[in-house]
Each structure stands twice: as structure tokens, then as C-alpha cells.
């Protein structure tokens, strides 16, 4: 149960002044639904302004605060152009205050002719005239405006303004309770960090690295401690030892020999299954590295030992693909495999539920439907979770309730994760890595071209489709934003449809699931030749005939994300090509990242290099859902502070009395503050 002291922070946002139904919508888009969320909505950067008495003291490009007196309002005759207010300083120098669109209406009221106003904004030059476009602030006196000399700039959504967000932040910070210190005293002293309340307030006021580090450390400590609690709880649980006799695995007729990495991983899993402590293991491997075969071997061990096995997939279409693959591979064993998704209804569903209950079904493959309350198992011994990053720890914990005793868990992911982030995301799990590709796997040619060569790329695409191939075209976003020139899937789909007609289908995350599945099925079956998509296809069906992929504005993606997308081609025996189309000139770091994509297909190396190249906040790629489980800690902070936080959590558990101690009670509050309370729930008494 959440400590009462945190209740003010978890109050809904409409308890703050000025938050009504109209404002809640853009706040929701930013994930801001409670007072706590606003308090942790940290600025992206700060605008530093200099007060000047007149324009002669200022430089073009500088952020300033200056007294100006409006002398003339000039509206554009067409009604569509800029609205300019000419204003003079104390020396008679003239500057244009320029507004576009609806903002011109407020300019008429804010800037009456002949009345001095204090203006804050960036001084620019247009032709021979100085101008300030859309002044950030207009005030009747300098008193309030000089407080904006170091002003935070917050992430916004349509319908929000910087002053509005800043006002909400001020209200949220005023509600901060005085919480007990949870950081180990020695670490707190060495780091010379501020208290939690001080750190949050400083982080909103200016560039305070120590405050930012403190807040990031808190989040990392909460995560490390919660994962340790999960691991400790798992070790206390009674599982069932599953020792297979090999009779089913001996009947397998795999079309290829196992790699050394597969054999090693299978051995590690088999050793875990033989213990009565439930296994918690993560299997990492590139797309095509052979995770499914390893999972099949593990599930057959469980079935040989008299238990049932379940494979959980994040989407229905991926569940169906796994079902077909496992059914073919396991056919010689004679085991009973079933598929269960949310689409299954009536007698067919009832028959599957009965088979799981009486044990006549050995292996079930499906979506989250296989863990609904109505689904009971005779003896569930092993759960395999595919694309683990799509499921949180709370979902993993839910699985423990489905067996007579806690089942063993094998999680799989094709997302290459740096070792540091593996500890952050999966610190409660042991890890196996498939770092070899099966023999005969074709290398993928990767080329980088400029967007100016779009016509050549489309011609290459047409030739590939005419030759019987299929292709992907990946865009960074669903639809374009007015403020940014970002390739959008909907616009690209419309353009390519003019050339290729009904051979093109569109998939993105905002489509209804049934429409998305229908488009993917058309592509998987070969009815459609070209799939235009966002990164939703990171986890997708295998299409052996897809031998070409175009990734538009590749510089906007992380290396690990590019690599996982690239892995969707090259699944068959034909030579495959991945075209990375860059939108413009690249920085040195951007060039190095795309050069690495051409140089190697080792996902783990790319993940480590991506973390190194992106460094302290230079995120050249869009942040992925699978990047980190953190909202505050940046990649550089994770790499630097996570080992310290991990040691701090271990000291609390092993030396300082755990959550029952005085510091432990403070840490318990921290877990609820960062919503890692699933770690607390594992302890008796909650």
C-alpha cells in the first residue's frame, strides 16, 4: 500500500489550478496525468537571456530582455503574411516584433502604440531590419520579466505553452513532501548531492549536474532494488525440477546443425530446469540467430518431464507464425500443440481450454489470452516469452500464478542490448547470448544513399518487385509534423501507391489491430509486394521473399533499431539489400554510426557502439520503447551511475537490514514513488 506521505504527489492533475478538460488532453499526450509526473517533467534545456538597455548593446542571435515602445502596427494586406509591430528603444533604434497566424490577435492587445513594454526573445535580422519573432514574454514592467533570465524550456504538446507548463511545475514543486533519505550515507556524502526535494527544485531552475545526477540515481536505485526483490523472491519460491530423458528431442529432424552458441544456451537452460528454484533466464540473439529452436528444445525438456509448456508472443500474427514453425519442427515428436489468441471463440476455444486443463495439450502458443483467468493448466512447467521488451516485470510476475508451483520462465529478445542496459532492464534474470548466426545465413548488403537519389531507389524497388521479390519501406513517423521535415509513412504510402497500385500495404501502430493484421497477412502471403511501415515491424512475421528494405531518414534511428529492422530481410536464400536513406548532411557521429551499419552485422557490437557514440545525451536516433525503462536517467548516466546504484541496493539488502530497516523504510517509499512497487508486493505484508 502506497505510503500516505506520497498521496499529494499521486493526486490527479485536475487538482492543480488551471487544469480542466481542455488542458488534460495535451498533458495526457506527454504522459502527465498526476502531480508527480509534472514534478518530474524536467526541462530539455534552458534559455539564458541578457538584460540590455537598448538595441546597440545587443547582438544578432542573442536572447535578450529589453524595454521597447511600440510605434506602429503593420498588418499584411493579404491577411496571410506576418503581422509586424514596429517598436523603438530609448535611443530611437527600431525593431520589428513579428507574429504569424493567430498570434497576431494577441499582439494587438499586448503592444499598444506609445506604451513601453519589456520584451524577452531572440534578436534576429530580416533584410536590413532587426526583429524578434514571436517574443517569448511581453510585460508592462521589468519586475517579473527579469526572473526569466535563465528560463527552462520544457517538452510540449499541441495546446500547451511554456508559461502554462512552468506554472504547473511551480504548483507541483510546492506540494513536494519532505521524504527521508534512501541513499546509502557514504555514497550520499561522497557524491555531494542535494536532498531529493532540493534536487527536483534545482533541476527546474538551471543547469545543475549534481541535481540531475541525484534524480537519475534515485530512479536507477529504485529499479535495481525492485529487480533484486524479484530475484530474491524467486529464489524463495518452490518450483519443480524438470529433467528430460531426451526421448522427444532425439526425434527432432532439424534442417540445420545447432551452432555452438545454441548448444551452450540449451545447456544453461537445461541446467536451470533441473533445479527446483524457478528459472528466470533471458535469451538474447539477433533476428535469425535461432532462438525459436532453443525455445523448442527447452519446451521439449519440460514436456519430457511430464509438464506443459507455453509460448507467449506480443501480437496475434507473430503467435500464428510461431505456432506454424513449432508445429512443423516438432511434428516428428508427436506432441500436441495448440494455438490460442483473442480471436478464438466458441467450441474451438472451449476445446483448447479443456485440453490445457486435462493435460492432453502439451504446448500452447498464443498472445496474452493464454494467461486469462479462464485458462487453467494441469501442470504448467515452462513459460517462454518472445520479444520480452514488450512485456514488463509485472506481466512476468503474473505468470507465476498459473502453475501448481511457480513455472520456469525463459524470456527471449531480438533487440541487441548493451551489457549495462541488460543489467538495468533484466537485472533479476540470468542471461544467455546467441552470438553466432546459423550456417548458410546470407549477409545483408547495406548501402547509404542521400534522399536526393529517391528516384533511383524507387526504380531499384520496381525492378526487385518485377523480379518476384518483396520489399519493406520504413519511415520514422506515421504522419508529418508541420514543424519538422520528417518522413511519414502515410505520405510515403500514398506516393508509392501511385506507382505500384494495390501491391502496396501500410502498417503503423495507430492502425486498428485487425487492419494491421490484415495488411501484414497480405504481405506475408505474397499478395502484397511492398510494405510501408513505421518501426512497428521491428517485431514482425518472417517473409523469406522480402529481399529489399529502404529505411528513410536512417539518421533518426538508433543503431540497434536499424539493425533489428534490417534483420527482417535476408531470411531466405536470396541476396538481400538494406538501403539507409539519409535526409541531409550528417555530423561526424552520424557518419560513424551509419558506417558501422555497413561494416558489421553483429547486433551486440552495434548496441555497445551506439551507447558509446550517443554519449551524454546526444541522442541522434529516436528513443525506442526498448531503449531503457527509465524516464529520467539518460544513457550516459545509466552507464556511469547504474553500477553504484546496484551496489547500493545490494548493501541495503545484504548489510543494512533490507526494507525492514530505517533506511529500508525510506527505500520502500522510493519504490512507490518510482512505481517499482511490484518489488514491494512480493514481500509478505506488502
pLDDT digits (tens, 9 = 90+) for 467-493: 999 999 998 876 655 444 556 888 889
Angle value at C-alpha 402, between 397 and 405, nearest 5 degrees: 90
Q: Dig out the grid coordinates for 259 from the structure.
A: 551452432
Taking Cα atoms as reference points, which of 576, 516, 526, 586 lies closest to residue 550?
576
DSSP category for residue 672: H
Q: Is 337 left (phi over 0), alpha (psi -120 to 50) or beta?
A: beta
- Sign of the CA dihedral running 320, 398, 226, 181: positive
CA distance 234 to 94: 72
Average pLDDT, the chain: 86
Q: CB–CB of 270/453 below 8 Å? A: no
- Segment among 407-416, 444-453, 539-548 with least mean pLDDT: 539-548
**What is the reported pLDDT for 236?**
81
Q: What is the mean pLDDT of residues 22-44?
A: 94
Residue 540: per-residue pLDDT: 61
C-alpha–C-alpha distance, residues 650 and 182, integer Å: 13
Select, from the ranges 206-215, 226-235, 448-457, the one with the highest average predicted confidence (pLDDT).
206-215
Q: What is the pLDDT of residues 503-529, one digit of tens each?
A: 999 988 778 878 888 888 899 889 999
Q: How far apart are CA 568 and CA 127, in angstroms?
A: 51
Q: Pick the more confident residue, 300 or 639.
A: 300
Please give the full DSSP string across 511-542, using - where no structure is assigned.
S-HHHHHHHHHHHHTTS-SEEEE-GGGGS---
When mean pLDDT is compared across 71-85, 174-188, 261-275, 665-679, the lowest value belongs to 71-85
Question: How far is residue 525's CA from residue 276's CA, in Å, rounded to a whole number?
Answer: 44
User: What is the C-alpha to C-alpha distance for residues 495 and 533, in angstroms, rounded to an integer?
Assistant: 13
Rounded (5°) CA angle 327-329-331:
60
User: What pLDDT is recorded for position 624?
Assistant: 35
Residue 59 pLDDT > 60: yes
| pLDDT value at residue 600 | 81
Residue that the C-alpha cell 529464489 belongs to:
235
Crossing angle for the helix pair 419-426 and 635-654, to the nearest 10 degrees: 50
Query: Which string of b and e fits 424-439 if b means at least 16 CB within 10 Å?
Result: bbbbbbebbbbbbbbe
Identity of the highest mean pLDDT range in 77-81, 85-89, 405-409, 467-471: 85-89
Express the helix, strand and coil content of the chain in percent, nearest 5 each.
Answer: 45, 20, 40
Report, as an integer, the average pLDDT of 224-253: 89
The arithmetic mean of pLDDT across residues 639-666, rounded, is: 92
d(CA 375, CA 609): 44
> What residues form DSSP beta bridges with 338?
364
- Can you tell me whether residue 15 is helix, strand or coil? helix
C-alpha R_g of the chain: 29
Q: Does 317 or 114 have the greater pLDDT score?
A: 114
Name the residue among 148, 165, 147 with its Cα closest to residue 156: 165
Helix axes 260-273, 291-304, angle to 10 degrees: 30
Residue 274 in this model has a pLDDT that exceeds 50: yes
Q: Which residue has the cell 496474452?
A: 368
Which of the pair, 273 or 602, is modelled with greater confidence? 273
Angle between helices 635-654 and 603-614 (to 10 degrees): 100
Residue 616: predicted pLDDT: 34
Please tell me whether residue 478 adopts helix, strand or coil conformation: coil
| pLDDT at residue number 626 | 37
Higher-confidence residue of 476 and 661: namely 661
| Of 622 and 29, more confident | 29
For the chain, helix (H) and strand (E) counts, in that order, are: 23, 23
- Model confidence at 627, pLDDT cuts 50, 70, 90, reads very low
CA distances, 234 to each of 278, 363, 429 (Å):
7, 24, 10
Amino acid at each position: 500500500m502506497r505510503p500516505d506521505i506520497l498521496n499529494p504527489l499521486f493526486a490527479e492533475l485536475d487538482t492543480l489550478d488551471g487544469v480542466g478538460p481542455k488542458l488534460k488532453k495535451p498533458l495526457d499526450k506527454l504522459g502527465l496525468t498526476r502531480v508527480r509526473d509534472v514534478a518530474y517533467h524536467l526541462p530539455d534545456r534552458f534559455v539564458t537571456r541578457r538584460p540590455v538597455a537598448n538595441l546597440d548593446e545587443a547582438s544578432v542571435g542573442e536572447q535578450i530582455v529589453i524595454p521597447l515602445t511600440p510605434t506602429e502596427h503593420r498588418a499584411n494586406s493579404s491577411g496571410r503574411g506576418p503581422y509586424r509591430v514596429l517598436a523603438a528603444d530609448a535611443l530611437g533604434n527600431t525593431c520589428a516584433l513579428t507574429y504569424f497566424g493567430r498570434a497576431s490577435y494577441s499582439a494587438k492587445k499586448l503592444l499598444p502604440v506609445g506604451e513601453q513594454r519589456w520584451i524577452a526573445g531572440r534578436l534576429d535580422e530580416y533584410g536590413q531590419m532587426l526583429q524578434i519573432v514571436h517574443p517569448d514574454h511581453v510585460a508592462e514592467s521589468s519586475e517579473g520579466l527579469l526572473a526569466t533570465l535563465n528560463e527552462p524550456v520544457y517538452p510540449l504538446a499541441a495546446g500547451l505553452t511554456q508559461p502554462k507548463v512552468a506554472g504547473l511545475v511551480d504548483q507541483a514543486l510546492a506540494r513536494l513532501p519532505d521524504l527521508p533519505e534512501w541513499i546509502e550515507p557514504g555514497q550520499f556524502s561522497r557524491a555531494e548531492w542535494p536532498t531529493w526535494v532540493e534536487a527536483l527544485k534545482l533541476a527546474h531552475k538551471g543547469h545543475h549536474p549534481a541535481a540531475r545526477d541525484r534524480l537519475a540515481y534515485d530512479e536507477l536505485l529504485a529499479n535495481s532494488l525492485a529487480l533484486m526483490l524479484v530475484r530474491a523472491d524467486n529464489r524463495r519460491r518452490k518450483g519443480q525440477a524438470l529433467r528430460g530423458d531426451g526421448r522427444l528431442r532425439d526425434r527432432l529432424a532439424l534442417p540445420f546443425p545447432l551452432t555452438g552458441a545454441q548448444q551452450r544456451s540449451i545447456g544453461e537452460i537445461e541446467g536451470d530446469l533441473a533445479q527446483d528454484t524457478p528459472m528466470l533466464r533471458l535469451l538474447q540473439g539477433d533476428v535469425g540467430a535461432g532462438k525459436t529452436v532453443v525455445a523448442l528444445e527447452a519446451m521439449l525438456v519440460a514436456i519430457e518431464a511430464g509438464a506443459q509448456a507455453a509460448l507467449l508472443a506480443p501480437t496475434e500474427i507473430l503467435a500464428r507464425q510461431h505456432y506454424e514453425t513449432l508445429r512443423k519442427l516438432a511434428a516428428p515428436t508427436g506432441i500436441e500443440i495448440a494455438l490460442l489468441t483473442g480471436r478464438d471463440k466458441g467450441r474451438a476455444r472451449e476445446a483448447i481450454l479443456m485440453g490445457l486443463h486435462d493435460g492432453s495439450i502439451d504446448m500452447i502458443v498464443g498472445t496474452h489470452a493464454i494467461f486469462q483467468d479462464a485458462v487453467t493448466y494441469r501442470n504448467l512447467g515452462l513459460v517462454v516469452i518472445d520479444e520480452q521488451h514488450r512485456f514488463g516485470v509485472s506481466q512476468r510476475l503474473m505468470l507465476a500464478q498459473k502453475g501448481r508451483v511457480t513455472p520456469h520462465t525463459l524470456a527471449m529478445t531480438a533487440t541487441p542490448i548493451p551489457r549495462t542496459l541488460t543489467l538495468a532492464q533484466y537485472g533479476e534474470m540470468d542471461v544467455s547470448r546467441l552470438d553466432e548466426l546459423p550456417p548458410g545465413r546470407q549477409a545483408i548488403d547495406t548501402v547509404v544513399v542521400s534522399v536526393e537519389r529517391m528516384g533511383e531507389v524507387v526504380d531499384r524497388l520496381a525492378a526487385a518487385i518485377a523480379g518476384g521479390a518483396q520489399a519493406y519501406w520504413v519511415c520514422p513517423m506515421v504522419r508529418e509534423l508541420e514543424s519538422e521535415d520528417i518522413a511519414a509513412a502515410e505520405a510515403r504510402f500514398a506516393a508509392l501507391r501511385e506507382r505500384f497500385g494495390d501491391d502496396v500495404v501500410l502498417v503503423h501502430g495507430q492502425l486498428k489491430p485487425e487492419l494491421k493484421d490484415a495488411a501484414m497477412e497480405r504481405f506475408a502471403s505474397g499478395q502484397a509486394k511492398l510494405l510501408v511501415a513505421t518501426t512497428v515491424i521491428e517485431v514482425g512475421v518472417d517473409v523469406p521473399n522480402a529481399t529489399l528494405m529502404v529505411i528513410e531518414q536512417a539518421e533518426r534511428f538508433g543503431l540497434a533499431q536499424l539493425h533489428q529492422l534490417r534483420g527482417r530481410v535476408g531470411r531466405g536464400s536470396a541476396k538481400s539489400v538494406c538501403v539507409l536513406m539519409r535526409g541531409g548532411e550528417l555530423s561526424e557521429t552520424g557518419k560513424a554510426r551509419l558506417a558501422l551499419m555497413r561494416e558489421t552485422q553483429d547486433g551486440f557490437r552495434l548496441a555497445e557502439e551506439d551507447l558509446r557514440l550517443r554519449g551524454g545525451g546526444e541522442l541522434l536516433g529516436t528513443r525506442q520503447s526498448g531503449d531503457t525503462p527509465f524516464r529520467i536517467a539518460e544513457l550516459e548516466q545509466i552507464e556511469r551511475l547504474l553500477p553504484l546504484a546496484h551496489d547500493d541496493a545490494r548493501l541495503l539488502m545484504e548489510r543494512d537490514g533490507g526494507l525492514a530497516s530505517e533506511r529500508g523504510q525510506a527505500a520502500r517509499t522510493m519504490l512507490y514513488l518510482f512505481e517499482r512497487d511490484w518489488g514491494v508486493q512480493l514481500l509478505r505484508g506488502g
